[in-house]
Structure 1
Amino acid sequence: MDTLASFAAAIEATGFVHAMKFSPLWYSLANTAHVLGVALLVGAILPMDLRLLGLWRGVGREELARVLVPIAAFGLLLAVSAGLVLFSVRAGHYVGVTIFYWKLCLITLGTVLALLFHVRAGLWLESATDRQAALHGAASLCCWLGALVAGRMIAYFPNWP
């Protein structure tokens, strides 16, 4: 853990982080970008996963995927990019917060599962069976909603568990 603390201290000592810490405007913009990214990500994943679980059978999986997959991908890139900026401002704090690591694991797992599912079932999920789709939808919901909850818990319960 000492190496992580040293790494975090080095990040916080950069000029960029110093500027972010003392600029309410830039920090607020980074925070807003993170929230927007999360909103796009979860806002696109939730209806897609519910469709994969069997809701809205009248709406084709492929058509829904063509709309929602790019939105989710953009949301993920925006949330991660802005999240790295937010992390850098308080890196020393975050490396000591257990729930932060849970959040990172859930984001990583959700991303890997999505990539594997799209590789196996096609970009627009055209070759996924109903069973594969439902299994992925359930796992995806758990990962992304878990990451969302963990992210909020960091703010309110930084010493949990």
Structure 2
Amino acid sequence: MIVAFLSAVEAWAPIAALRNSMLVYPLVNAGHILGVALLVGSLIPLDLRLAGLWRQVMLMPVWRMLSRTAVCGFLLALITGLLLFATRATEYVESTLFLTKLALILVAGLNAIWLARRFTALLSPATAVVRPAAVASIILWVGVLVLGRLVGYF
């Protein structure tokens, strides 16, 4: 059932055109890389600050700027990632690396939501509570990044 649906998605004319395009596919791929760069590039410094580094830097302005940038990066990566997935959906759905990447995205996303709620609830995070989640965030998102690169090669 799912394979039939994914095959239909792959065969859909706009997705087939994307897959076969020598211009649009690389642009979508570049958009995905940009989205991931914005996401991970924003979250790592934010998580490092939440974990206790750069204490002399005021947290609230860093939080406002980097969390918004991370959300924009995530949305760009999500949209372009769905397009890239659709071009080889039946292949990706059978890839352990890809499925593991999705699982890490889910866990990292839930961790990010928890951190955001914790931060806004306290207005100033309790380091003992937030620090482990910030470190976990770095590990999870770097894991997503590595698995994403590996998916393209295996």
TM-score when scaled to structure 1? 0.90
Matched, 1:121 2:119: yes
Q: Distance in 2 between matches of 1:63 and 1:111?
A: 22
- Given residue 66 of structure 1, which amino acid in structure 2 is its aligned partner? R
Aligned to 2:70: 72
Q: Deviations over 1:50-71 (max 9, x none)?
A: 1111111111221211110000
Aligned to 1:83: 81
Matched, 1:26 2:24: yes
Q: Deviations over 1:53-105 (max 9, x none)?
A: 11111112212111100000000000010000000011111011101011011
Aligned to 2:133: 136
Question: What are structure 2's unaligned runs of at least 5 residues?
Answer: none
Q: Distance in 2 between matches of 1:155 and 1:30?
A: 14
1:50 to 43, 48, 51: 48
The answer on whether the counterparts of 1:61 and 1:126 sit within 8 Å (CA) in structure 2 is no
Q: Deviations over 1:107-134 (max 9, x none)?
A: 11111111122123208x7231011221
The answer on whether the counterparts of 1:100 and 1:151 sit within 8 Å (CA) in structure 2 is yes
Aligned to 1:62: 60
Q: Distance in 2 between matches of 1:50 and 1:4?
A: 40
Matched, 1:39 2:42: no
**1:84-123 aligned within 5 A:** 84-122=82-120
Q: Distance in 2 between matches of 1:106 and 1:72?
A: 16
The answer on whether the counterparts of 1:4 and 1:95 sit within 8 Å (CA) in structure 2 is no
SS in 2 for 1:152: helix
Q: Distance in 1 between matches of 2:152 and 2:19?
A: 17
Percent identity between the two aligned chains: 41
TM-score when scaled to structure 2? 0.94
SS in 2 for 1:128: coil
SS in 2 for 1:110: helix
Question: What are structure 1's unaligned runs of at least 5 residues?
Answer: none
Q: Distance in 2 between matches of 1:63 and 1:126?
A: 12
- Given residue 129 of structure 1, which amino acid in structure 2 is its aligned partner? A
Q: Distance in 2 between matches of 1:44 and 1:68?
A: 5
- Given residue 146 of structure 1, which amino acid in structure 2 is its aligned partner? G
